[in-house]
Every structure is written in C-alpha cells, then in structure tokens.
Amino acid sequence: MLEKVEVINMEKVIEEFESMTKDAERVQRETLKRILEDNSSAEYLKNFGLNGRTDPESFKACVPLATHKDLEPFIYRILDGDDSPILTGKSITTMSLSSGTTQGKPKYIPWNDELFESTMQIYKTSFAFRNREFPIKNGKALNFIYGSKQFKTKGGLIATTATTNVFRNPSYKPTMRSLQSQCCSPDEVIFGGDFFQSLYCHLLCGLIFREEVQLVSSTFAHSIVHAFRAFEQVWEELCNDIREGVLSSRVTVPSIRTAMSKLLKPNPELANIIHKKCSGLSNWYGLIPELFPNAKYIYGIMTGSMEAYLEKLRHYAGVIPLLTADYGASEGWIAANVNPKLPPELATYAVLPQIAYFEFIPLTQLEDEDSFSCLEPQPVGLTEVKIGEEYEIVMTTFSGLYRYRLGDVVKVMGFHNSTPELKFIRRSTLLLNINIDKNTEKDLQLAVEAAAKLLIQEKLEVVEFTSHVDLSSEPGHYVIFWEISGEASERVLSECCNCLDKSFIDAGYTSSRKVNAIGALELRVVRKETFQKILDHYLGLGTAVSQYKTPRCVGPTHNSVLQILSENVVDRFFSSAFN
C-alpha cells in the first residue's frame, strides 16, 4: 500500500506565518487561553487558584516561575503511574528525555500530540522560507538521524528521547517527505539500535544514491562532522561494499543487513568514481560536494554549542552553504529560521506566537539573582522585549510546563512584523566560575578558537574540548581538556596554554588571576578517541546521537566523564604568570 503524502502549499504556510506574526500579542493571549482551558482540570494549576481565569495578568499573578526541579515531584508521580490530571487535562502517556549532557543526567519532559504538532509547524515554516531560497525537488536527503530505544517507566509510560518521539510518530515520515526529499536510509538503519552500524549504513546509502542527494542534514552539526570524520576512516571499505555488492561484516544487526541487501548491488563503476574522488582530495577539503555533486545545502542546528564545529563543517562543505536549523529544546520549540541565507554565526530565529506562551526575564534581573537579591524576576511579554537587550526565556506549553524557566539567554536582534527575532547567546548558568569570574560557554569557545590557531603551524587541529573547575587545591583553577588531531610539540602546546589563559577576557577572571585568587590555567591533552569514549558513555545511558552535545564543562554531576578524561591524559601544561 502506497504511503499517502500530504501536499503542502508553501506559500500558504508563509502567509499564515505572516498573519500570525503581524498580531503576535493577540495570538499570544489566545494561545495562553487555549493552554489554560485545555488544562483547567490539572492539579498543578488548581493549586494556584486561577479559578478558570485565562488572561495573562491573572496567570502571572497566580502562577509562579518554575524550574524543572520544581516540577519533578509532579513528573515522578506521573512516571510512577498516577494518571490523574496532574500537569495536563489529559493523561500523559509518553515522556521525553533530554540528552543529559548539561546536567549530567537526563530530565524527563512530558510529551503529547500538541508537542509533535508544534514540531511539524516549525519544520513547515522554516522549510517554506528555506525552499524559496534553495529549492529542492524530487531528490533524496542524506539524514544522519538515529532513533534511541524506548523503555517503560514503573508506571507503564513510554520514555525515549525527544527526537525519537518525533521520528516514531506515524505522521513524521509523510510530512517530511512532503517538505523536502525522501531519506536515503531505510527505517531499519535509523532505528537499528547500534549507532556505529547505523552511521556506516547512512554513509553507504548516501553513496548509493549520490547523484540524487540534494540535502545533507542532521539534528546537530556535531553529528555531520562526526559522520565525515568516520568516513575518512572507512571510505575504502565502503567502496569495496559497493564494488562487490556485499555489506561489510562490521554490520551485524539482522534487520539492518536485510534492509541494506535490498539496496546494495554490485556497482564497480560507482566504486571507482568514489575511490578516485577520495584519493584526489587534499586534506578532505570539499569532501561533501565531491561525494554528492547535486547537494544544495547542509542543514542542522549550528548555533550555541554547535558553533564549535562550524570550521570543520565548512572544511568538508567546501562551496556548499551551511543553513542552521530552528531554535528549540527538549521542552518545546520556540522559533524558526526564516532568514536562511544568513550564515549560522549571524542567524536569528523568529518566534512562532501560536506554539507556546512566552515571557522574557531581562538580563539585569538575572544579574540581581546572581547577587542573591530577594527580588522576584518580573518577566515581560513577547511583544514587550526591546531590540539589543538580552533575556532568559520563560515558556508555558501545551504539554504541562507553566512559566518554565528554560535557562537560555537570548538577544533580541529585531522584529519580524510584531514577533521578536532572537539570537541564542548562552545558557543562563555560568560555565566557569571560581571567584568573581563569569565565563560562559561562548567565552570558552572563543578562548579555544584563539589558542587553536597556534596549532596550524604544525598542521594540527582541536578535534574536541571541554573544561573543568579544579577546586582540589587553593587557589582553584580552570582546566581545559583538548583532543588534537596529531602529536604537537611541547613548545606549541605551552604557547596554546598561555593563549587560553589570556583569552578569557572577563574582568573578574583577569583581576582574580593577577592577585592569584585563581590559579594558573591547566591544559590537559588527552588520547585520540577519548571524546568518542565519552559519547559511548552517554549512548550506554540511553542518549540518542541525534540529541548528543559534548558537555562543555565537566562538573560534580559528571564524575564518570571526568574519570574518562583523567584516565586518558597524556600531557599537562600550566600557564605562566599572569600580567
């Protein structure tokens, strides 16, 4: 039976978006009204005495700001089988898991059909704008996506990662086919259960359909870079599979082997073409267009922590443009990229006012919180934000999160009609902090990028990095872990260490270093494949590669990760005196 594919009118999608964003304040009030009416029987809301009121003023006056920790007692009751209306009017039957790389353990997030619908709304909107600039028609997509295993909680709820909840929804595949192009890989590869075997077969499927591939994508930029780093190691084996028409013995999952046998036929001519192209590449620059000559762009989330992979991704991409995907979290979607021609570093995201109710805490109030002020933050509404100002996002969703502090800091770059266009800045929690220093993930990334330039003289690069605050001795100091692509000289690594130290320009850090309130920065170089071991660790905990983000700061909740790093250190350097 042929799968029915909905025909989506892209111009109509854009018209609806323009209409919604022209009157964002009205749409927000209506969205909040729908959320509160749908969930009026929820115990959580009843506790705060809304008594049927659905206006923003009453909602803000009655319902306090909340974090995931505040909601955990309610979520754990649901996990244990309490099917009464606790957070939502309808019973929650499915939970999503965050990646767990930020906090050291995954968070459970309620999942329902409304969240899936908002996901599809974001996808449709961004694709409509993207396809006007980079039209795709009747081609295939090489999607490096991976489903994770589902399991049942004590109370019988299905739990899996947020991306898997999307991929497994029956409406996902036909919707995505109507939006872009058919995925190269069969479902058995996506849901194969073994990341490395699935990755190998994703690459193989892409090569089989190389002339038809018009799009290369993944949820995160990291996954695309990881895939082509793996390709560098296995390309000759892939060529042999294509030449002989027999799948490598490295693939052992029966369902994957069966599915691939239907696609893989002996093709010596294709194998020779790929072998010749790979043999002729210098340092793998422009690998993607060489392999996929009709690819029009590369797509995935490329902002925030993913910016660290842009240089390597551009190396593989050559002349193919990089388009960053939309802005959201495991808790829900926020905004779409409606300016796809902007490079990822300049990308902004237009908030969809109908997918959730949004509030914004001004950064000045966050700073008051850091100073232990007793003042309760007072968020402003979606249309009340000011251009150039920074805010923490607060969400109220259809899935049972009310005035939920997401923990993301964004900057308002402008407005699309009356809805703000946001740029992701950082997580609200500080990454590196010992004394009066305040260094964020972006600060760490900039320091690493500055120091990594010194490796160029030895034709090396930083493959991965993370950080740690070492308080085991006085004074505490920053530790930066690097995995590099080869063996660097002690002289260069010592220079890199000093450069890292000087590249943290936060006034609290520099003044603390000068008076030795913070000790010399330490650079620890780890063995090749160390960060692969960290990825393996998270995969073993059930994290999906589609959601994986390398933890950029290894804290007290990451003991296993710190142990992996510490066991693989091969060299250590300390920065010189700070002037």
pLDDT tens by residue, 445-461: 999 999 999 999 899 99
Helix 268-280 / helix 221-244 crossing angle, nearest 10 deg: 130
Find where tokens 């790389």 sit: 101
Q: Is the dihedral of CA 349, 350, 355, 359 positive or negative?
A: positive
Residue of 526, 551, 548 whose CA lies nearest to 539: 548
- The rounded percent of the chain whose pLDDT value lies above 70 is 93
Q: What is the DSSP string of 73-86?
A: HHHHHHHTT--SSS
Residue of 444, 215, 218, 228 whose CA lies nearest to 315: 228
- pLDDT at residue 3 tops 90: no
pLDDT at 440: 84
pLDDT at 177: 62
Mean pLDDT of 56-63: 95
pLDDT at 48: 92
Residues 6+ apart with CB under 8 A from 69: none
pLDDT at 482: 96
CA distances 235 to 25, 200, 227, 271, 526, Å, are: 53, 10, 11, 10, 26
pLDDT at 1: 37
Q: With beta carbons less than 8 A apart as the criterion, state whether 115 and 399 touch.
A: yes
- pLDDT at residue 495 tops 80: yes
Confidence of residue 579 (pLDDT cuts 50, 70, 90): low
Confidence of residue 2 (pLDDT cuts 50, 70, 90): very low
Q: Dump pLDDT digits (tens) for 7-40.
A: 678 899 999 999 999 999 999 999 999 999 999 9
Mean pLDDT of 544-557: 79
Which two structure tokens, joined as six digits, stand for 197? 């075997």
What's 447-477 look like in SS3? HHHHHHHHHHHHCCCEEEEEEEEECCCCCCE
pLDDT top residue among 228 and 115? 228
Q: With beta carbons less than 8 A apart as the criterion, state whether 480 and 572 touch.
A: no
Confidence of residue 528 (pLDDT cuts 50, 70, 90): very high
pLDDT at 430: 64
In terms of Cβ atoms closer than 10 Å to its own Cβ (0-12, 13-18, 19+), residue 280 is exposed
Q: For residue 390, which phi and psi values (nearest 5 degrees)?
A: -110, 145
pLDDT at 577: 73
The DSSP bridge partners found for residue 299 are 217, 323
Instruction: Spell 24-56 as b/e; 16+ CB within 10 A means b.
Output: beebbbebbbebbeebbebebbeeeebeeebeb
pLDDT top residue among 439 and 402? 402
- pLDDT at residue 146 tops 90: no
Question: Would you report the helix, strand and coil content of the chain in percent, each value rounded to 5?
Answer: 45, 20, 35
Q: How many residues are present in the chain?
A: 579
Confidence of residue 49 (pLDDT cuts 50, 70, 90): confident
CA 99 from chain centre, in angstroms, equals: 9
Confidence of residue 545 (pLDDT cuts 50, 70, 90): confident
Confidence of residue 264 (pLDDT cuts 50, 70, 90): very high
Helix 10-22 / helix 24-38 crossing angle, nearest 10 deg: 90
Confidence of residue 521 (pLDDT cuts 50, 70, 90): very high
Q: Which amino acid is at 209?
A: F
Q: For residue 97, which phi and psi values (nearest 5 degrees)?
A: -115, 130
pTM above 0.95, yes or no: no
Confidence of residue 4 (pLDDT cuts 50, 70, 90): low
Mean pLDDT of 70-92: 90
Ranking 145-149, 186-190, 206-210 by mean pLDDT, the lowest is 145-149
CA 387 from chain centre, in angstroms, equals: 25
- pLDDT at residue 486 tops 60: yes
- pLDDT at residue 161 tops 80: no
Q: With beta carbons less than 8 A apart as the criterion, state whether 47 and 382 touch.
A: no
Which two structure tokens, joined as six digits, stand for 105? 């353990």
Q: Dump pLDDT digits (tens) for 198-213.
A: 999 999 999 999 999 9
- The rounded percent of the chain whose pLDDT value lies above 90 is 62
Q: How far apart are CA 425 and CA 108, in angstroms?
A: 25
Q: Which amino acid is at 568?
A: N
Residue of 337, 350, 333 whose CA lies nearest to 303: 337
In terms of Cβ atoms closer than 10 Å to its own Cβ (0-12, 13-18, 19+), residue 169 is middle
Mean pLDDT (the chain) is: 89
- pLDDT at residue 303 tops 70: yes
Q: With beta carbons less than 8 A apart as the criterion, state whether 501 and 513 touch.
A: yes
Confidence of residue 286 (pLDDT cuts 50, 70, 90): very high
Residue of 465, 490, 483, 453 whose CA lies nearest to 573: 490
Residue of 71, 147, 123 whose CA lies nearest to 544: 147
Q: How far apart are CA 390 and CA 364, in angstroms?
A: 8
Q: How far apart are CA 166 and CA 118, in angstroms?
A: 11
